[in-house]
Amino acid sequence: MGSSRKHWRRFDPVSVHRRQRGSGIDYPFRMITISAEVQAALASRRPVVALESTIISHGLPRPRNLEAAQEFEQILRDVGVTPATIAVLDGVPQVGLSAEGIRRVAEEPMAKASVRDLPILAALQSSAATTVAATAYLANRAGIRVFATGGLGGVHRGASSSFDESADILMLSETPITVVSAGVKSVLDIEATLERLETLSIPVIGFGTDVFPRFWIRESNCRLDWSVQSAEDVARVMRVRDVLGLRQGIVLANPVPAEQAWDIDEHDRILGQALQLAEEQGITGKAVTPYLLLEIVKLSGGTSLEVNLNLARNNVRVAGEIAKAWAALG
Ligand code: PSU
Ligand code: MN
Protein backbone atom coordinates (compact mmCIF):
# COMPACT_ATOMS: atom_id res chain seq x y z
CA MET A 1 0.00 0.00 0.00
CA GLY A 2 1.17 3.51 -0.84
CA SER A 3 1.03 4.94 2.64
CA SER A 4 2.91 2.09 4.25
CA ARG A 5 5.68 2.30 1.59
CA LYS A 6 6.12 5.95 2.44
CA HIS A 7 6.41 5.04 6.13
CA TRP A 8 8.85 2.33 5.30
CA ARG A 9 11.25 4.84 3.72
CA ARG A 10 11.15 7.15 6.71
CA PHE A 11 11.63 4.37 9.24
CA ASP A 12 13.23 1.14 8.17
CA PRO A 13 13.25 -1.29 11.09
CA VAL A 14 15.49 -3.68 9.18
CA SER A 15 18.28 -1.14 8.74
CA VAL A 16 17.85 -0.03 12.36
CA HIS A 17 18.31 -3.66 13.33
CA ARG A 18 21.48 -3.94 11.21
CA ARG A 19 22.98 -0.72 12.57
CA GLN A 20 22.24 -1.74 16.12
CA ARG A 21 23.67 -5.22 15.71
CA GLY A 22 26.84 -3.57 14.44
CA SER A 23 26.98 -1.34 17.49
CA GLY A 24 27.04 -4.36 19.78
CA ILE A 25 23.87 -3.22 21.54
CA ASP A 26 21.04 -5.69 22.05
CA TYR A 27 18.85 -4.26 19.30
CA PRO A 28 15.37 -4.86 20.69
CA PHE A 29 16.19 -2.50 23.52
CA ARG A 30 16.90 0.23 21.01
CA MET A 31 13.57 -0.41 19.30
CA ILE A 32 11.86 0.35 22.61
CA THR A 33 11.95 3.81 24.14
CA ILE A 34 12.41 3.76 27.89
CA SER A 35 11.76 7.17 29.48
CA ALA A 36 14.68 8.89 31.21
CA GLU A 37 12.82 8.67 34.52
CA VAL A 38 12.28 4.92 34.24
CA GLN A 39 15.84 4.33 33.01
CA ALA A 40 17.24 6.24 35.98
CA ALA A 41 15.09 4.32 38.47
CA LEU A 42 16.04 0.95 36.97
CA ALA A 43 19.74 1.84 36.82
CA SER A 44 19.80 2.70 40.52
CA ARG A 45 17.55 -0.26 41.44
CA ARG A 46 14.76 1.94 42.72
CA PRO A 47 11.21 0.51 42.60
CA VAL A 48 9.33 0.67 39.28
CA VAL A 49 5.82 -0.57 38.46
CA ALA A 50 4.58 -1.16 34.90
CA LEU A 51 1.01 -0.11 34.06
CA GLU A 52 -0.92 -1.28 31.00
CA SER A 53 -2.79 1.02 28.65
CA THR A 54 -5.66 -1.04 27.20
CA ILE A 55 -7.55 -0.39 30.42
CA ILE A 56 -7.20 3.33 29.56
CA SER A 57 -8.08 3.18 25.87
CA HIS A 58 -10.62 0.34 25.80
CA GLY A 59 -11.55 -0.56 29.37
CA LEU A 60 -12.74 2.72 30.86
CA PRO A 61 -15.04 5.36 29.38
CA ARG A 62 -13.93 8.93 28.66
CA PRO A 63 -13.20 11.23 30.44
CA ARG A 64 -12.69 9.06 33.51
CA ASN A 65 -10.05 7.04 31.66
CA LEU A 66 -7.58 9.96 31.50
CA GLU A 67 -8.15 10.87 35.15
CA ALA A 68 -7.62 7.23 36.13
CA ALA A 69 -4.39 6.88 34.14
CA GLN A 70 -3.00 10.00 35.80
CA GLU A 71 -4.19 8.88 39.22
CA PHE A 72 -2.59 5.42 38.93
CA GLU A 73 0.75 7.10 38.28
CA GLN A 74 0.25 9.53 41.17
CA ILE A 75 -0.55 6.71 43.62
CA LEU A 76 2.89 5.26 42.84
CA ARG A 77 4.79 8.55 42.88
CA ASP A 78 3.27 9.39 46.29
CA VAL A 79 4.98 6.33 47.79
CA GLY A 80 8.28 6.83 45.99
CA VAL A 81 7.72 4.32 43.18
CA THR A 82 8.33 5.21 39.52
CA PRO A 83 5.37 4.43 37.26
CA ALA A 84 5.97 3.08 33.75
CA THR A 85 2.77 3.26 31.75
CA ILE A 86 3.33 1.37 28.50
CA ALA A 87 1.85 1.82 24.99
CA VAL A 88 3.01 2.00 21.38
CA LEU A 89 3.13 5.50 19.88
CA ASP A 90 3.82 5.97 16.17
CA GLY A 91 5.30 2.49 15.97
CA VAL A 92 7.64 2.78 18.95
CA PRO A 93 6.88 0.96 22.20
CA GLN A 94 7.14 3.46 25.05
CA VAL A 95 8.06 2.22 28.52
CA GLY A 96 7.14 5.21 30.68
CA LEU A 97 4.71 7.38 28.73
CA SER A 98 4.98 11.15 29.01
CA ALA A 99 1.94 13.14 30.21
CA GLU A 100 1.21 13.88 26.54
CA GLY A 101 1.54 10.19 25.67
CA ILE A 102 -0.99 9.31 28.36
CA ARG A 103 -3.35 11.94 27.00
CA ARG A 104 -3.03 10.50 23.50
CA VAL A 105 -3.83 6.97 24.71
CA ALA A 106 -6.88 8.24 26.58
CA GLU A 107 -8.23 10.53 23.86
CA GLU A 108 -7.09 9.29 20.43
CA PRO A 109 -8.86 6.29 18.93
CA MET A 110 -6.21 3.59 19.01
CA ALA A 111 -5.91 -0.14 18.37
CA LYS A 112 -5.69 -2.69 21.18
CA ALA A 113 -2.36 -4.45 20.77
CA SER A 114 -1.23 -7.82 21.96
CA VAL A 115 2.29 -9.16 21.50
CA ARG A 116 1.68 -10.31 17.93
CA ASP A 117 0.81 -6.77 16.87
CA LEU A 118 4.10 -5.19 18.01
CA PRO A 119 6.17 -5.79 14.84
CA ILE A 120 3.29 -4.70 12.61
CA LEU A 121 2.79 -1.49 14.57
CA ALA A 122 6.53 -0.78 14.31
CA ALA A 123 6.70 -1.34 10.57
CA LEU A 124 3.59 0.75 9.90
CA GLN A 125 4.39 3.40 12.53
CA SER A 126 0.99 2.97 14.11
CA SER A 127 -0.11 3.62 17.68
CA ALA A 128 -1.85 1.22 20.04
CA ALA A 129 -2.64 0.60 23.66
CA THR A 130 -1.05 -2.56 25.05
CA THR A 131 -2.86 -5.43 26.76
CA VAL A 132 -1.47 -7.27 29.75
CA ALA A 133 0.33 -9.64 27.34
CA ALA A 134 2.06 -6.90 25.34
CA THR A 135 2.73 -4.76 28.42
CA ALA A 136 4.28 -7.71 30.28
CA TYR A 137 6.51 -8.47 27.30
CA LEU A 138 7.74 -4.88 26.97
CA ALA A 139 8.12 -4.32 30.71
CA ASN A 140 10.20 -7.45 31.02
CA ARG A 141 12.43 -6.39 28.12
CA ALA A 142 13.03 -3.16 29.97
CA GLY A 143 13.87 -4.99 33.21
CA ILE A 144 10.70 -4.18 35.18
CA ARG A 145 9.56 -6.97 37.51
CA VAL A 146 6.20 -5.78 38.89
CA PHE A 147 3.08 -4.86 36.96
CA ALA A 148 -0.43 -3.72 37.95
CA THR A 149 -3.64 -4.13 35.97
CA GLY A 150 -7.36 -4.38 36.80
CA GLY A 151 -8.24 -7.92 35.82
CA LEU A 152 -6.04 -10.37 33.96
CA GLY A 153 -7.36 -11.80 30.67
CA GLY A 154 -8.29 -15.49 30.70
CA VAL A 155 -10.37 -18.24 29.17
CA HIS A 156 -13.71 -16.95 27.86
CA ARG A 157 -17.01 -18.72 28.44
CA GLY A 158 -17.67 -21.04 25.52
CA ALA A 159 -13.95 -21.28 24.76
CA SER A 160 -14.23 -25.01 24.10
CA SER A 161 -15.87 -24.07 20.80
CA SER A 162 -14.68 -20.47 20.24
CA PHE A 163 -11.06 -21.12 21.34
CA ASP A 164 -11.13 -17.64 22.90
CA GLU A 165 -8.36 -17.59 25.47
CA SER A 166 -6.50 -14.36 26.21
CA ALA A 167 -2.88 -14.18 25.10
CA ASP A 168 -2.27 -12.75 28.59
CA ILE A 169 -2.11 -16.30 29.94
CA LEU A 170 0.36 -17.66 27.41
CA MET A 171 2.58 -14.59 27.71
CA LEU A 172 2.83 -15.03 31.47
CA SER A 173 4.03 -18.59 30.97
CA GLU A 174 7.24 -17.17 29.49
CA THR A 175 7.62 -13.76 31.13
CA PRO A 176 9.03 -13.54 34.67
CA ILE A 177 6.96 -10.60 35.86
CA THR A 178 4.57 -10.37 38.82
CA VAL A 179 1.12 -9.19 37.79
CA VAL A 180 -1.16 -7.78 40.46
CA SER A 181 -4.80 -8.13 39.44
CA ALA A 182 -8.18 -8.55 41.12
CA GLY A 183 -8.27 -12.07 39.67
CA VAL A 184 -9.95 -12.38 36.30
CA LYS A 185 -13.13 -10.69 35.11
CA SER A 186 -16.31 -12.54 36.03
CA VAL A 187 -17.27 -12.42 32.33
CA LEU A 188 -14.74 -15.26 31.89
CA ASP A 189 -14.74 -18.97 32.68
CA ILE A 190 -12.90 -18.78 36.01
CA GLU A 191 -12.40 -22.53 36.52
CA ALA A 192 -11.00 -23.01 33.02
CA THR A 193 -8.69 -20.03 33.46
CA LEU A 194 -7.27 -21.49 36.68
CA GLU A 195 -6.78 -24.86 34.97
CA ARG A 196 -4.81 -23.19 32.17
CA LEU A 197 -2.68 -21.29 34.68
CA GLU A 198 -1.91 -24.59 36.37
CA THR A 199 -1.04 -26.34 33.11
CA LEU A 200 1.27 -23.51 32.11
CA SER A 201 3.00 -23.61 35.52
CA ILE A 202 2.07 -20.04 36.40
CA PRO A 203 1.84 -19.63 40.17
CA VAL A 204 -1.39 -18.07 41.46
CA ILE A 205 -1.16 -16.56 44.93
CA GLY A 206 -3.95 -14.91 46.89
CA PHE A 207 -2.99 -11.66 48.59
CA GLY A 208 -4.62 -12.00 51.99
CA THR A 209 -7.17 -14.47 50.61
CA ASP A 210 -7.40 -18.15 49.73
CA VAL A 211 -10.28 -17.64 47.28
CA PHE A 212 -9.72 -16.52 43.70
CA PRO A 213 -11.48 -13.17 43.19
CA ARG A 214 -13.60 -12.29 40.15
CA PHE A 215 -12.75 -8.65 39.50
CA TRP A 216 -15.83 -6.75 40.78
CA ILE A 217 -16.52 -9.54 43.30
CA ARG A 218 -14.22 -10.83 46.04
CA GLU A 219 -15.43 -14.40 46.05
CA SER A 220 -15.71 -17.29 43.62
CA ASN A 221 -16.13 -21.04 43.94
CA CYS A 222 -12.41 -21.45 43.40
CA ARG A 223 -10.04 -21.93 46.31
CA LEU A 224 -6.37 -21.18 45.95
CA ASP A 225 -3.56 -23.44 47.13
CA TRP A 226 -1.50 -20.50 48.36
CA SER A 227 -1.96 -17.16 49.95
CA VAL A 228 0.50 -14.61 51.34
CA GLN A 229 -0.06 -11.75 53.74
CA SER A 230 2.65 -9.29 52.79
CA ALA A 231 4.49 -7.69 49.89
CA GLU A 232 7.73 -8.98 51.40
CA ASP A 233 6.48 -12.56 51.01
CA VAL A 234 5.75 -11.89 47.33
CA ALA A 235 9.24 -10.46 46.82
CA ARG A 236 10.76 -13.57 48.42
CA VAL A 237 8.74 -15.83 46.11
CA MET A 238 10.04 -13.79 43.16
CA ARG A 239 13.62 -14.13 44.33
CA VAL A 240 13.40 -17.91 44.78
CA ARG A 241 11.70 -18.24 41.40
CA ASP A 242 14.69 -16.47 39.84
CA VAL A 243 17.18 -18.62 41.72
CA LEU A 244 15.40 -21.74 40.51
CA GLY A 245 15.65 -20.46 36.93
CA LEU A 246 11.91 -20.50 36.29
CA ARG A 247 10.64 -18.28 33.50
CA GLN A 248 6.97 -18.02 34.42
CA GLY A 249 5.34 -14.88 35.79
CA ILE A 250 3.37 -14.80 39.03
CA VAL A 251 -0.34 -14.00 39.25
CA LEU A 252 -1.05 -12.19 42.50
CA ALA A 253 -4.79 -12.20 43.11
CA ASN A 254 -5.72 -9.11 45.11
CA PRO A 255 -9.45 -8.90 45.87
CA VAL A 256 -11.26 -5.56 45.76
CA PRO A 257 -11.69 -4.28 49.36
CA ALA A 258 -14.94 -5.65 50.85
CA GLU A 259 -16.57 -2.25 51.31
CA GLN A 260 -15.92 -1.41 47.64
CA ALA A 261 -17.06 -4.70 46.06
CA TRP A 262 -20.15 -4.85 43.84
CA ASP A 263 -23.39 -6.31 45.20
CA ILE A 264 -23.42 -9.93 43.99
CA ASP A 265 -27.10 -10.07 42.97
CA GLU A 266 -26.92 -6.87 40.95
CA HIS A 267 -23.64 -8.05 39.42
CA ASP A 268 -25.10 -11.41 38.37
CA ARG A 269 -28.18 -9.82 36.83
CA ILE A 270 -26.23 -7.27 34.80
CA LEU A 271 -23.54 -9.69 33.75
CA GLY A 272 -26.26 -11.98 32.35
CA GLN A 273 -27.72 -9.11 30.34
CA ALA A 274 -24.32 -8.07 28.99
CA LEU A 275 -23.34 -11.59 27.96
CA GLN A 276 -26.65 -11.97 26.14
CA LEU A 277 -26.19 -8.64 24.34
CA ALA A 278 -22.69 -9.63 23.23
CA GLU A 279 -24.04 -12.84 21.78
CA GLU A 280 -26.93 -11.09 20.01
CA GLN A 281 -24.52 -8.52 18.56
CA GLY A 282 -22.13 -11.25 17.40
CA ILE A 283 -19.15 -9.72 19.21
CA THR A 284 -16.03 -11.87 18.84
CA GLY A 285 -12.24 -11.80 19.13
CA LYS A 286 -10.46 -8.93 20.80
CA ALA A 287 -13.62 -6.82 20.80
CA VAL A 288 -15.28 -9.08 23.40
CA THR A 289 -13.62 -7.79 26.58
CA PRO A 290 -13.94 -4.04 25.78
CA TYR A 291 -17.54 -4.55 24.63
CA LEU A 292 -18.56 -6.33 27.83
CA LEU A 293 -16.76 -3.88 30.15
CA LEU A 294 -18.30 -0.78 28.58
CA GLU A 295 -21.75 -2.37 28.23
CA ILE A 296 -21.66 -3.35 31.91
CA VAL A 297 -20.79 0.26 32.84
CA LYS A 298 -23.91 1.43 30.95
CA LEU A 299 -26.22 -1.30 32.26
CA SER A 300 -25.12 -0.70 35.87
CA GLY A 301 -25.56 3.07 35.63
CA GLY A 302 -21.86 3.52 36.37
CA THR A 303 -21.64 1.28 39.47
CA SER A 304 -19.32 -1.22 37.78
CA LEU A 305 -17.04 1.65 36.74
CA GLU A 306 -16.54 2.82 40.31
CA VAL A 307 -15.75 -0.74 41.41
CA ASN A 308 -13.36 -1.19 38.48
CA LEU A 309 -11.54 2.02 39.38
CA ASN A 310 -11.32 1.08 43.06
CA LEU A 311 -9.97 -2.40 42.40
CA ALA A 312 -7.42 -1.01 39.95
CA ARG A 313 -6.26 1.63 42.46
CA ASN A 314 -5.92 -1.11 45.05
CA ASN A 315 -3.84 -3.22 42.66
CA VAL A 316 -1.58 -0.27 41.86
CA ARG A 317 -1.01 0.33 45.59
CA VAL A 318 -0.14 -3.31 46.25
CA ALA A 319 2.13 -3.44 43.19
CA GLY A 320 3.93 -0.39 44.59
CA GLU A 321 4.50 -2.19 47.91
CA ILE A 322 5.83 -5.25 46.11
CA ALA A 323 8.18 -3.17 43.95
CA LYS A 324 9.54 -1.57 47.12
CA ALA A 325 9.95 -4.93 48.86
CA TRP A 326 11.68 -6.26 45.73
CA ALA A 327 14.05 -3.27 45.61
CA ALA A 328 14.81 -3.75 49.32
CA LEU A 329 15.95 -7.33 48.66
CA GLY A 330 18.77 -5.71 46.64
N1 PSU B 1 -8.34 -4.79 33.44
C2 PSU B 1 -9.29 -3.79 33.45
N3 PSU B 1 -9.72 -3.32 32.25
C4 PSU B 1 -9.23 -3.81 31.05
C5 PSU B 1 -8.23 -4.82 31.05
C6 PSU B 1 -7.81 -5.29 32.29
O7 PSU B 1 -9.74 -3.36 34.52
O8 PSU B 1 -9.65 -3.34 29.99
C9 PSU B 1 -7.68 -5.33 29.73
C10 PSU B 1 -6.21 -5.78 29.84
O11 PSU B 1 -5.47 -5.02 28.91
C12 PSU B 1 -6.23 -7.24 29.43
C13 PSU B 1 -7.40 -7.24 28.49
O14 PSU B 1 -5.03 -7.65 28.84
O15 PSU B 1 -8.36 -6.49 29.21
C16 PSU B 1 -7.86 -8.65 28.14
O17 PSU B 1 -8.30 -8.64 26.80
P18 PSU B 1 -8.54 -10.02 26.03
O19 PSU B 1 -9.58 -10.72 26.85
O20 PSU B 1 -9.03 -9.65 24.64
O21 PSU B 1 -7.23 -10.74 26.00
MN1 MN C 1 -9.66 -13.12 23.05
pLDDT tens sequence across 9-63: 445 555 555 555 554 444 444 589 999 999 999 999 999 999 999 999 999 999 9
Confirm or reject: Cβ of 183 under 6 Å from ligand 1.
no
Asked whether 182 and 253 are in contact (CB, 8 A), the reply is yes
Confirm or reject: Cβ of 132 under 6 Å from ligand 1.
yes
For residue 228, what are the β-bridge partners?
Answer: 207
Please calculate the CA angle 129-255-194 and round it to the nearest 5 degrees: 75
Closest CA to ligand 1's atom 7: 150
3-class secondary structure per residue, 4-61: HHHHHHHCCHHHHHHHHHHCCCCHHHHCCEECHHHHHHHHCCCCEEEECCHHHHHHCC
165 C-alpha to ligand 2 centroid (Å): 5
For the segment 305-320, what is each residue's pLDDT rounded down to a tens digit?
A: 999 999 999 999 999 9
Quote the DSSP letter at residue 208: S
Spatial distance between the Cα atoms of 276 and 282, rounded to a whole number of angstroms: 10
Spatial distance between the Cα atoms of 177 and 192, rounded to a whole number of angstroms: 22
Across 105-120, b (16+ Cβ under 10 Å) vs e yields bbeeebbbbbbebbee
For the segment 140-185, what is each residue's pLDDT rounded down to a tens digit?
A: 999 999 999 999 999 999 999 999 999 999 999 999 999 999 999 9
For residue 285, what are the β-bridge partners?
Answer: none
Amino acid letter, 43 = A
Closest CA to ligand 1's atom 10: 131
| Closest CA relative to residue 306, chosen from 317, 297, 315, 316 | 297
Q: Which residues lie near ion ligand 2 (Cβ < 5 Å)?
A: 164
Spatial distance between the Cα atoms of 295 and 253, rounded to a whole number of angstroms: 25
Percent of the residues in the chain that have a pLDDT greater than 90, as a whole number:
90
Spatial distance between the Cα atoms of 147 and 31, rounded to a whole number of angstroms: 21
For the segment 212-232, what is each residue's pLDDT rounded down to a tens digit?
A: 999 999 999 999 999 999 999
Spatial distance between the Cα atoms of 81 and 162, rounded to a whole number of angstroms: 41
pTM above 0.85, yes or no: yes
Active site residue 185: yes
Confirm or reject: Cβ of 309 under 6 Å from ligand 1.
no
Reported as type and span, the H/E element at residue 99 is: helix 99-107
Asked whether 112 and 54 are in contact (CB, 8 A), the reply is yes
Spatial distance between the Cα atoms of 55 and 119, rounded to a whole number of angstroms: 21
| Domains of the chain, CATH where assigned | 5-20+27-328 (3.40.1790.10)
